Chain A
Amino acid sequence: MSVGEPFLDVHDLKVEFPTEDGIVSAVDGVSFSVQKGKTLAIVGESGSGKSVTSQAVMGLINRKTAKLSGEVRLDGEELLTASTEQVRSLRGKRMAMIFQDPLSSLHPFYSIGKQLAEAVLVHQDVSKSAAMEQARQMLDRVGIPNPERRIKDYPHNLSGGMRQRVMIAMALLNSPELLIADEPTTALDVTVQAQILNLLRDLQKEFGTAIVLITHDLGVVADMADDVVVMYGGRIVERGGIDDIFYAPEMPYTWGLLGSVPRMDVGRGARLEPIPGQPPSLIRLPKGCVFRPRCPYHELVPGNRCDVERPDLLPVTPDHAVRCHLEPAQRKEIAIERLGAQAGQVAAPSSSGSAGSGGAVGSSGMEAQ
């Protein structure tokens, strides 16, 4: 990530919500960057801060109720300190967002065409009919049959998959350079999910869009991402290329996530290895490592460092960083023990960089840029 200008660069982002019960530290010190034409996945469970992070980037967090700090740069332009008007002029044009629930994100009173055309008219100086024509073309592009007829339909006339396509069409109307997709397929059936993911991939290829994909589904991550950020308790606990995270993860939480996911290509008998306990409350975060209460390995760390000292996010390789007090050698050993044969092949493709299998091109290609 060091070479080449990242299109989106987030540095030390903090979002705090003061509440009656105390300060909710929803996002704490989050840094990541995305280049054009690449996909970054932000993975985490409920309350991990992944959605708040994306909303902060889009300028969708009300500054009267929240405290924001850090830097968010879109193509070099600082957004956190920018005026509301300035951010608004970028939103929908240079950056756009797809939300999880298309029914509550579309206005029930206006036709699809009208809502789409409005998105064009806000940012482009064109006639209404030209805007409508752009809307029609984009509906066609996202695979909606009979767009000239559908343009007159209302959101309730459409199925879930269709609505999600309309949302995507709306997000893509002004060919944004950054697309933030917050659980874009979670509400959809798998066959429709496959259609939508395919569409996102095609559009990315065509327009070189940078995508930030927020999801809890590791299958979708494996399918789409070049780089992955794993969040827990409002912090990044591990960050790396797709192969680092899936084949050489070094953070106990990432191991837990991978061990929790049932795989369709592995049958009965293989037992899941869940993470014990519950995610932490963001009001009363543990003093030391936020994952300490659920971590089965804290006893391997001498003293009570995990209880009293917040670990830093430290690099393992230039593109792979981990927040954990365990010694690197210990982590590698446990990873192989937990992930078995999979972890055995861990280092081969990513460290040699030879990209022997066509598969490794995705992530190593990016490093080479």
Chain B
Amino acid sequence: MTVVDESGTSKALRREDALLRVDQVQKYFPITGGGVLKRKVGDVRAVESISFDIIPGETLGIVGESGCGKSTAGRTVMKLLDPTGGKIEFEGRDITHLSRKEMVPLRREMQMIFQDPYSSLNPRHTVGSIISAPFKVQGVKPARGVQAEVQDLMARVGLNPEHYNRYPNEFSGGQRQRIGIARAIALRPKLIVCDEPVSALDVSIQAQVVNLLEDLQDEFRLAYIFIAHDLSVVRHISDRIAVMYLGRIMEIADAEKIYTSPRHPYTHALTAAVPLPDPRTERKRERILLEGDLPSPINPPSGCVFRTRCPKAQDLCAEEIPLLRELAPDHFGACHFPEEKHLIPVATV
């Protein structure tokens, strides 16, 4: 089985003032056979082992392609899914095994924004009742009354407070995402997990929402876990970035280093694959093409999960799982043969 004693990782990824600390968290989904007994025949290893921490006011981006486990990771650390292994600490308290009920008070501190602003809002509830739901659930009575508080929130996220009694279908995609954001910040949480919050939106609207998220972060010193497949958006908003592949973190470092000096061959290929909105730079850029598709998370490759597509793979990669280790100060990579520094020259525009 997988041996993941990431001693180096655990030490170095442990910052004293961490708001959330995720230590070798694992999430398997059982696959059951047919018949009445529903015997377990295997597991989908959505998240194999991930470790990171996040401090107040920080944005950690989690990037990766479909099926890499980034959304499952987000839901698991939020405890919307129960982890099958590892440990999650929030403000120093172990929350790994808390029940749904025990989690309720903690929901004031940690909230979530979802991708699809069409299915994450109840179409039969007015905007006012959607945004005020957190007050009801938590039994909070704002001094000036719920409606005044909600209307303030609406104004804060750029919605017209007079639309308090309207229904979600009367709003556009971007406005709905603002409703979801107002609901998430209603109780002044410390951490918000944003799962692809802007990927359903048009470019011009996407920029409005990204700016709003940045403003709110500055105003309330929010920490974000920003999960997205769009590397440009993640690079824009994140302080640090974790790159995931098949349930594991391949590399985690400062956002700029992930782009300018990726140490993991996967990060390198991923960043090189993103076309830049700059034709002159684009014509000069090197391209690294990865062959093939993502392997199955039911039966992942032995050793390094990326080795089947890695241009640098050697025998060792099939035998031993590379541990996430500190390759440079605050720069962690899980690779036996990490890339040299500064592969990509910083773009000179």
Chain A residues at the B interface, C-beta cutoff of 8 Å: 45-46, 145, 159-162, 189-195, 197-198, 216-223, 225, 242-243, 246-247, 256-268, 270-276, 278-279, 341-342, 357-360, 362
Pick from A145, A220, A222, A268: contact of B239, CB below 8 A.
A268
Question: In the complex, given contacts A45-B202, A45-B203, A192-B65, what are 13 additional A-B residue pairs having Cβ atoms less than 8 angstroms apart?
Answer: A162-B293, A217-B275, A219-B232, A222-B282, A246-B277, A263-B232, A265-B276, A265-B281, A266-B236, A268-B236, A272-B207, A274-B204, A342-B349
Q: How many A-B residue pairs have CB under 8 A?
A: 159
Most buried by B among A45, A191, A342: A191
Most buried by A among B204, B214, B293: B204
| Chain B interface main SS type | helix
In contact, A246 and B279 (Cβ under 8 angstroms): yes
Evaluate whether A268 and B269 lie within 8 angstroms (CB atoms) in the complex, with A222-B277, A257-B204, A260-B204 already known.
no
Q: Can you list 28 A-B pairs, Cβ within 8 angstroms, ordered by A?
A: A159-B293, A160-B66, A190-B231, A192-B65, A193-B273, A194-B272, A216-B203, A219-B276, A246-B277, A263-B277, A264-B276, A265-B281, A265-B349, A267-B235, A267-B259, A270-B236, A271-B214, A272-B210, A273-B207, A274-B205, A278-B172, A278-B205, A341-B349, A342-B349, A359-B284, A360-B280, A362-B279, A362-B283
The 3 A-B pairs of least Cβ separation, nearest first, read A219-B275, A274-B207, A262-B236
How far does the alpha carbon of A189 sit from the alpha carbon of B349 in the complex, in Å? 26
Pick from B203, B238, B275: contact of A220, CB below 8 A.
B275
Q: B237 contacts the other chain (Cβ, under 8 Å)?
A: yes
Most buried by A among B238, B278, B287: B278
Q: B343 contacts the other chain (Cβ, under 8 Å)?
A: no
Evaluate whether A265 and B347 lie within 8 angstroms (CB atoms) in the complex, with A190-B229, A257-B203 already known.
yes
In contact, B238 and A268 (Cβ under 8 angstroms): yes
In contact, A195 and B289 (Cβ under 8 angstroms): yes
Most buried by B among A190, A267, A275: A190
Residue of B nearest to A362 (CB): B283
Q: B270 contacts the other chain (Cβ, under 8 Å)?
A: yes
Residue of A nearest to B236 (CB): A262
Residues of A within 8 A of B233 (CB): 262
Pick from B229, B259, B289: contact of A264, CB below 8 A.
B259
Residue of B nearest to A342 (CB): B349
In contact, B280 and A194 (Cβ under 8 angstroms): no
Chain B residues at the A interface, C-beta cutoff of 8 Å: 65-66, 172, 174, 202-208, 210-211, 214, 229, 231-233, 235-239, 255-256, 259, 269-284, 287, 289-290, 292-294, 346-347, 349
How far does the alpha carbon of A98 sit from the alpha carbon of B340 in the complex, in Å? 40
In contact, A222 and B279 (Cβ under 8 angstroms): yes
Least Cβ–Cβ distance between B115 and chain A, in angstroms: 14
Residues of B within 8 A of A262 (CB): 207, 210, 232-233, 235-237
Evaluate whether A267 and B256 lie within 8 angstroms (CB atoms) in the complex, with A198-B289, A262-B233, A262-B235 already known.
yes
In contact, A268 and B229 (Cβ under 8 angstroms): no
Residues of A within 8 A of B283 (CB): 358-359, 362
How far does the alpha carbon of A273 sit from the alpha carbon of B203 in the complex, in Å? 11
Residues of A within 8 A of B275 (CB): 193-194, 197, 217, 219-220, 222-223
In contact, A256 and B277 (Cβ under 8 angstroms): no
Residue of A nearest to B68 (CB): A189
Least Cβ–Cβ distance between A143 and chain B, in angstroms: 9
How far does the alpha carbon of A247 sit from the alpha carbon of B239 in the complex, in Å? 29
In contact, B236 and A275 (Cβ under 8 angstroms): no
In contact, A261 and B287 (Cβ under 8 angstroms): no
In contact, A359 and B279 (Cβ under 8 angstroms): yes
How far does the alpha carbon of A149 sit from the alpha carbon of B275 in the complex, in Å? 33
In contact, B277 and A258 (Cβ under 8 angstroms): yes
Least Cβ–Cβ distance between B254 and chain A, in angstroms: 9
In contact, B237 and A268 (Cβ under 8 angstroms): yes
Residues of B within 8 A of A46 (CB): 202
In contact, B211 and A218 (Cβ under 8 angstroms): no
In contact, B204 and A275 (Cβ under 8 angstroms): yes
Pick from B256, B278, B282, B290: contact of A191, CB below 8 A.
B290
In contact, B203 and A261 (Cβ under 8 angstroms): yes
In contact, A267 and B281 (Cβ under 8 angstroms): no
Least Cβ–Cβ distance between A108 and chain B, in angstroms: 20
Residues of A within 8 A of B237 (CB): 262, 268
